[in-house]
Amino acid sequence: MPLPKEISFVTFDVYGTLIDWESGAYDAFAKEAEKDGYTLSRDELVPLFLEIQQEIKGGSYELYAEVLRRTAVQISRQLGWPLEPSRSGFLPDSVKRWPPFKETNTQLERLAKKYELGLISNIDDKLLGETRRHFKADFDLVVTAQQVRSYKPDPAHFKECERRMGSKKGWVHVASSYYYDVEPCIKAKIPVIWVNRHKEPLDPSQKKPTAEVRTLLEAAKLLGVA
């Protein structure tokens, strides 16, 4: 499925696409573990974070702040660092410090001059509000997990986005996660640009996105603004 000839609305996943959650979450874990004399490996932490998050999000809906607290406790146990559950709030508290990628604001500002922009994120409204302070661009539409009471890859985010826009015509989604964003977009026939920062290979059974790039700059070029 090609990109639309006439694009009017560009939506983004937030964490991993616009925000460097890997650095932010690792820094938060490392700082908290250091209080107890533990040193954590980023190479161990990031895959474990992804695995545990996927498992928790697959259950009944709860606020993302609570998902993060549960994630912190489970990761600490698996890494041999006995974190008291009462201290697990360090992780949701850290979200406001998770940094944007260096290219994020430049490309968002360029895109905002030509298109309406939206955010489609697996997070709650409060935490996203803290993250949005990092962005210089305004957004015309925001859909969170809290608003639809489910987590991607469930299609509720995308259905709600389409409902608010009134049509899928002229809509392109930009995201870094194949599992949470690209796959549901393919199923819903929404053109999607995959920002594959880590050069993840696709299995033969996985369908290709509309386009694949390494950076937001490359995505902006595809969208005709860089």
Contact 114, 13 (CB under 8 A): no
Contact 45, 75 (CB under 8 A): yes
Contact 61, 122 (CB under 8 A): no
The 8 Å CB, 24+ separation contacts for 199-203 are 202/178
CA dist., res. 10 & res. 192, Å (int) = 10
17: its two tokens:
């696409």
13 is catalytic: yes
CA dist., res. 173 & res. 105, Å (int) = 17
Contact 195, 103 (CB under 8 A): no
Among candidate residues 13, 124, 154, 181, the one labeled active-site is 13
CA dist., res. 193 & res. 187, Å (int) = 14
> Active-site residues: which are they?
13
